[in-house]
Amino acid sequence: MLGDAVVDAALAPLQERLAALNDAPPEAEPGTLAAPATSGRRLRQVSVLFLDIVGSTQLIQHLDPEEVQAVFDGALAAFTAIVTRHGGEVLRYAGDNLKAAFGAHGTLGTREDDAERAVHCGLALLAEAARRGDAVQRTQGHGGFSARIGIHTGPAVRGGGVENDNSLSGLTVNIAARLEQAAAPGALLISQDTWALVRGGFEAMLQPPLAAKGVAAPLTCWQVQAARPASQAPRARGLPGAETPLIGRQAERALLAQALARVQAEGRPQAVTLIANAGVGKSRLLAEFQRNCAAQCPPGCLLAARSQPSGHLQPYGLWRDLLLRQLAIADGDSADLARHKLLQGLAPWLAQPDDPPPEALGHLVGLDFSASPAVQRLGSDARLLRDRAVLALRLWLQRLAAHHGAPVVLLLDDLHWADEASLDTLHTVLNKGSGALLALLGARPALLEQQPGWGQALLQHERLDLQALGAEEGRALTQALLHQVQPLPAALAALIEGRAEGNPFYAEELVGMLLDQGVLRRGSSPDAAWFFDAARLDPQRLPTTITGVLQARLDALDANDRRALQLASVVGPVFWDEALGALDAQSPKALPALHSKALVQARAVSTFEGTAEAAFQHHLLHQVTYSTVLKPQKREAHARAAAWLTQRVGDRGDEYLAITGEHCARAGEHRLAAEWFLRASRRAKARFAYTAALQYIDQAEAQAALAAQTTGLSPPELQHELLNRRVLICDSLALREQQEVAIDRLLALGEAEGQDHWVAEALASRSMLAYRTGRLPLAEAAARRGVEVAERIDDAKNATLSHITLAFMAVEQRSFEAARRGAAAALHWAVLARQRMREERDDIFEVQALLVQAHLHGALAEEGPRSEVLAHALALARPMNNPRLTCTCLEFVVESALDSADAATATVHINEAARLAADFGLPVQQAIAQSLRARCELLAGDLRQAAHTAADAAQRHRACNNIDGALKCQQLQAEALWRSGMSDAAIQLWREDAATLQQRGDEVSARALRLRLADAAAPTSAHVGGEPDTSATTAAALRSVLAELPFLQQAQALATAPFGLAARLAAWRVLHRAGHPAAAQQRALAAEELAQALNAHTDPAVRARVCSVLPWHRDVAAALAQTAEDRPPATVHF
């Protein structure tokens, strides 16, 4: 964790800025009138809002004056705060109403999104009025308190008159007042002029024409009902004041419409990926489709998200963006509020008994739900968290579609910047989800370089490669961009078409550059004609690339405006005026000019409350702008950006760890950056984002190395932590070579620094890795040295791990005395580790040590001690909030019960394991529980049900890609089929499995199945009158058994194969039928193996039960009971 000094260093630049702000005069309290700033008169476009409190007269009649004052003053103060929060100013209070303006602010001036802000504010005011009306009804016993609002946008004069700077006059003000008077209580009316500026962002109903004083024609007005979700508000792009229409793309639009219709008809997920170079029109095509869908799809069915260039710095960032947009969670919300919004939005859709908790999905995408019991029940199992969270996401999307009876459309853009965890989740949602879901995915060709097989693993996927516009469409685009140049000179049109080469964004920027240079000049009004100054145009000096065009536009800016845009690029493609002010107090003043030139665009809703949000017009513009910032300026700006972000996100800082680290790195704060990236790695690993976690470790190590170069110091504690994290992550990713290199470095560091704890840690890791990779001598040597070092320094955790490795190896080598000593030592140190609990998961080692002891008791056929040890392990595991470990203990207990033929005990624990696996969505554990249930049914003699259950278990194992588990279940299924008389079906399974096992190198199991096939192919009747069976089928079966006979000379030769004793008896039966002398030996070996199995049970009743219940044990007893002597075989011709 970061220490206080580190945090203080990160906050220092921002604290300086806050200190400067604290020296400024205090702002006026909400509800009070600000002092006049100036008496100058200014004509501006303004969105004027009037609010009137409805029901005031009735309340005055029923309440005393003090109560009236409390109600109305409190309401007006709250309304004022809402106006201020949305970027407006309250200019006048008159009794029970107020007048506010958006766009007339003395310092901010007119903003592109003033009308949107005003309408959002109006809706927020109505919501506050409704809340206060409920409170008045509840506390005073009188209803009727409400509000009505009117908004109009147009020119108005600010300043002058008796109200000085708070004066606002003109027809615009009169129309807004008339709209307020015409609005019903609880309603918001806006004019047609306002609606034209906000259309697409709100749901509204056209109202009857309204007469207004001073206006000749009746007013067209709209009643606004609600804001559309941010996901349904298409992002505009184009020249200042006008959005360029989508030209051409009829075939592509038709394909997307067909995909939507297909999803509607088939009701299953499908995906379409749009691949296009920058500026060709990928995002524009998606926006057009989004606009069309918004008019047709039910609210809530259109979900949009996009990745940013910093996407790799936030695991699951694409899904985080989608959820935060859809659930209206702002980055500036407190952690408690963000969690509340997520649960409020998701809980109604995830309310069925077996549903995963919505908290898991919130935790996965970065919100901190670690204190939630629902997340704590998952323990520290990152895979389980990911699986439950992704299931929650799938169910939410599926149920949205079912509820609305319409497809859910995902619009996911810029996937070439998405992190790997986001893309993996997308694959899972599309391949394992169900219901009507259409995913429209936008990306540049870089996605295909990062993911060469993109789309091939998706079950339903189409890829659409967008090309540049053709010549005819290029001419149409030029006509649309220059339609106000009349007449349009052919040479100018040809120049634009030739340079743009069908790239719409390039064409727009060329026209924008000509406007900046004065080659084109706007008229006096938005609709007026443009003027073309041919003398100013020099085609030879026009840039030939889009980068050159963008650079030329930057060069044409005023120095202050250019500096503001450069500093905004340091914050990112999306930035906030408050963040820009933290970098330079004067830069926010340049934003209106940057908006007017369409270099940046305002966003209606900010992710940080109280500060306006804006975005660069295009990611290319952001990249070009950032490239022009000099290194010293970058360093200082990134340091200030990191400090601002750290302060602004408050208790949600864990969501921005890597982003803060990136700012620190670019600021030259390398040691601090290394700390941030290390924290980001820990957080990513805990959410199963292992690839991102490893990338953050790479970045942390690189920053630590740069810090060492700068300071000459390389703190060994930081080196150790980075190497240790790398070992753990590489282990999770099965990157064995990288893991071994990191272990070697960790060991060398520990030895060089004299840190024996690090040495013991490295040796324990080395022994486990060598054991897993089959290098047993290395594993044993590392474990023995690890034991010596760990015990000498009283390191309980690493002593336990090294002893566990040695004990497991001893059991496999059948060195049982050494195994007993190792298992006992492991348990001793594991108990100490649990008692000390120096790390969060140190209690798990005692359970692991007990399972090692159970494994040893099983190998020694000591069923009593085995049962006791397993009961202890299960009792420890249950309260640990580690469902996977608890299931493992239950599986061990069931195995022990089945070996004792205790079907009742086995059934109880199978049911518990199955419930636990179902509750937590553990598919592997569900498959194991089902296979154990099939074994239990086989013992009970319910053969048909056992075959059915085993088949289901095999299918579950295959779904988990567990081929070994599936093969064992198929052998269990074949056993049940054979014993129920369905020999043909059993033989077919044995043949398939024998071939597969042979290919997989499991010779013992393959041999056991060949013996079963030989027995099944021969006649089932014994030879009569002491004469051997000399039939051709018996001869063929005998040849098969004799081929295997050299490998069957020792007891337990088939012990590792499922039903190995049954295979031994199959060999005996074939030999016995043929009268072969080896039959006696095989029967004796079968008897020996049965005796070993029975001797594991000291209780005579248990021995008797095991002998009588297990079918293959009964078969041995029957064979031993035969009185006929084996005879030498007659001559058999092979």
pLDDT tens, position by position, 452-470: 889 888 888 999 888 888 8
| Boundary-marking domain end, from 583, 604, 629 | 629
- What lies within 8 Å, CB to CB, of 213 at 6+ separation is 174, 178
Once rounded to an integer, what is the mean pLDDT over residues 240-254?
74
Once rounded to an integer, what is the mean pLDDT over residues 490-514?
82
Bridge partners, 52 (sequence order): 97, 148
Whether residue 441 sits in one domain with residue 305: yes
Whether residue 484 sits in one domain with residue 439: no
Please tell me the predicted confidence (pLDDT) of residue 163: 57
CB 445 within 8 A of CB 270: no
**389, 854, 720: which is closest to 381 by C-alpha?**
389
Is 24 a member of any domain? Answer: no
Once rounded to an integer, what is the mean pLDDT over residues 560-581?
92
Once rounded to an integer, what is the mean pLDDT over residues 70-83?
88
Whether residue 608 sits in one domain with residue 460: no
- Torsions phi, psi for 862 (to 5 deg): -105, 80
Cα–Cα distances (Å) from 655 to 239, 319, 332, 651, in that order, read 35, 13, 12, 9
Is 760 a member of any domain? Answer: no
pLDDT band at 4 (very low <50, low <70, confident <90, very high): very low
Is 1028 a member of any domain? Answer: yes
Q: For the whole model, what pTM was predicted?
A: 0.68
CB 1006 within 8 A of CB 971: no
Strands 188-191 and 146-158: parallel
Whether residue 221 sits in one domain with residue 311: no
Please tell me the predicted confidence (pLDDT) of residue 41: 59
DSSP 3-state percent helix, strand, coil across the chain (nearest 5): 60, 10, 30
pLDDT band at 246 (very low <50, low <70, confident <90, very high): confident
Three-state SS string across 425-477, please?
Answer: HHHHHHHHCCCCEEEEEEECCHHHHHCCCCCCCCCCEEEEECCCCCHHHHHHH
Q: By percentage, how much of the chain surpasses pLDDT 90?
A: 37
**CA dist., res. 241 & res. 400, Å (int):** 37
- What lies within 8 Å, CB to CB, of 734 at 6+ separation is none
Please tell me the predicted confidence (pLDDT) of residue 239: 59
Three-state SS string across 157-196, please?
Answer: EECCCCCHHHCEECHHHHHHHHHHHHCCCCCEEEEHHHHH
Whether residue 426 sits in one domain with residue 285: yes
Length of the chain, in residues: 1134
Please tell me the predicted confidence (pLDDT) of residue 152: 92
Whether residue 382 sits in one domain with residue 273: yes
User: Which runs of consecutive H residues, i.e. helices, occur in 900-962?
Assistant: 903-919, 923-939, 943-959
Please tell me the predicted confidence (pLDDT) of residue 30: 35
More confident residue, 118 or 46: 118
Cα–Cα distances (Å) from 821 to 778, 804, 808, 1096, in that order, read 20, 11, 11, 21
CB 863 within 8 A of CB 1101: no
CB 574 within 8 A of CB 601: no
**382, 468, 463: which is closest to 415 by C-alpha?**
463
Q: 473, exposed or middle or buried, with CB in 10 Å at 0-12, 13-18, 19+? A: middle
Distance of CA 191 to the CA centre of its chain: 42
| Boundary-marking domain end, from 971, 1001, 1031 | 1001
Is 148 a member of any domain? Answer: yes
Highest mean pLDDT among 29-33, 160-164, 318-322: 318-322
Whether residue 440 sits in one domain with residue 307: yes
**CA dist., res. 300 & res. 410, Å (int):** 11
- Residues 22-59 as b or e (16 or more Cβ within 10 Å = b): eeeeeeeebbeeeeeeeeeeeebbbbbbbbbbbbbeeb
3-class state of residue 729 by DSSP: helix
| Amino acid sitting at position 86 | H
Strands 302-306 and 408-413: parallel
CB 1130 within 8 A of CB 1030: yes
**CA dist., res. 130 & res. 138, Å (int):** 12
The first and second tokens of residue 631, run together, are 């290194």
pLDDT at 204 over 90: no
Once rounded to an integer, what is the mean pLDDT over residues 439-450?
88
Work out the end-to-end distance of the chain between its first and last CA atoms, rounded to an integer number of angstroms. 77
Highest mean pLDDT among 44-48, 836-840, 851-855, 1126-1130: 851-855
**CA dist., res. 474 & res. 895, Å (int):** 73
| Interval 291-344: pLDDT, tens | 777 767 777 788 889 888 877 888 999 999 999 988 888 877 888 999 999 999
Distance of CA 1081 to the CA centre of its chain: 61
Domains of the chain: total: 6
The mean pLDDT value of the chain amounts to 84
Whether residue 921 sits in one domain with residue 1039: no
pLDDT band at 17 (very low <50, low <70, confident <90, very high): very low
- Torsions phi, psi for 857 (to 5 deg): -60, -35
CB 703 within 8 A of CB 674: yes
Q: 453, exposed or middle or buried, with CB in 10 Å at 0-12, 13-18, 19+? A: exposed
Whether residue 1018 sits in one domain with residue 980: no
Once rounded to an integer, what is the mean pLDDT over residues 838-865?
88
**810, 818, 802, 733: which is closest to 770 by C-alpha?**
802
Is 933 a member of any domain? Answer: yes
Whether residue 534 sits in one domain with residue 603: no
Sign of CA dihedral 427, 429, 432, 436: negative
Whether residue 274 sits in one domain with residue 402: yes
Cα–Cα distances (Å) from 926 to 606, 787, 953, in that order, read 45, 37, 8
pLDDT at 33 over 60: no
pLDDT at 38 over 50: no
Cα–Cα distances (Å) from 286 to 242, 276, 305, 322, 428, in that order, read 18, 12, 11, 16, 23
Is 85 a member of any domain? Answer: yes
Is 858 a member of any domain? Answer: no
**Angle made by CA atoms 843, 845, 846, in degrees to the nearest 5:** 80
3-class state of residue 865 by DSSP: helix
**CATH code for the domain of 593:** 1.10.10.10
**CA dist., res. 908 & res. 933, Å (int):** 10
Bridge partners, 449 (sequence order): none
Helix 1078-1095 vs helix 1111-1121: angle between axes, to the nearest 10 degrees? 130
Strands 221-227 and 202-206: antiparallel
**CA dist., res. 139 & res. 126, Å (int):** 20
- Torsions phi, psi for 413 (to 5 deg): -110, 160
**CA dist., res. 464 & res. 859, Å (int):** 59
Q: Which domain holds residue 459?
A: 250-465
**CATH code for the domain of 54:** 3.30.70.1230
Once rounded to an integer, what is the mean pLDDT over residues 808-823?
90
Sign of CA dihedral 390, 391, 397, 398: positive
The first and second tokens of residue 964, run together, are 């070994």
Please tell me the predicted confidence (pLDDT) of residue 1131: 30
Once rounded to an integer, what is the mean pLDDT over residues 754-764?
95
Give Rg (Cα) of the chain: 38
Whether residue 980 sits in one domain with residue 886: yes
Q: Please count the other Cβ atoms lying within 10 Å of the Cβ belonging to residue 626.
A: 18
CB 549 within 8 A of CB 506: yes
- Torsions phi, psi for 222 (to 5 deg): -130, 140
**CA dist., res. 132 & res. 726, Å (int):** 56
Highest mean pLDDT among 161-175, 204-218, 876-890: 876-890
CB 535 within 8 A of CB 550: no
Highest mean pLDDT among 375-379, 617-621, 1123-1127: 375-379
**DSSP string of 766-790, one letter each residue:** HHHHHHHTT-HHHHHHHHHHHHHHH
| Boundary-marking domain end, from 555, 582, 602 | 555
Q: 1049, exposed or middle or buried, with CB in 10 Å at 0-12, 13-18, 19+? A: exposed
**CATH code for the domain of 434:** 3.40.50.300
3-class state of residue 152 by DSSP: strand
CB 435 within 8 A of CB 461: no
pLDDT at 52 over 80: yes
Is 19 a member of any domain? Answer: no
The first and second tokens of residue 904, run together, are 């009742």
Once rounded to an integer, what is the mean pLDDT over residues 391-404?
92
**DSSP tag of 492:** H
| Interval 575-604: pLDDT, tens | 999 999 999 999 999 998 898 887 888 887
Once rounded to an integer, what is the mean pLDDT over residues 119-126?
94
pLDDT at 493 over 80: yes
The first and second tokens of residue 222, run together, are 């709209």
Helix 844-859 vs helix 863-877: angle between axes, to the nearest 10 degrees? 160
**CA dist., res. 831 & res. 475, Å (int):** 79
- What lies within 8 Å, CB to CB, of 109 at 6+ separation is 44, 103, 592
pLDDT at 574 over 60: yes
Please tell me the predicted confidence (pLDDT) of residue 679: 92
Please tell me the predicted confidence (pLDDT) of residue 74: 87
pLDDT band at 1052 (very low <50, low <70, confident <90, very high): confident
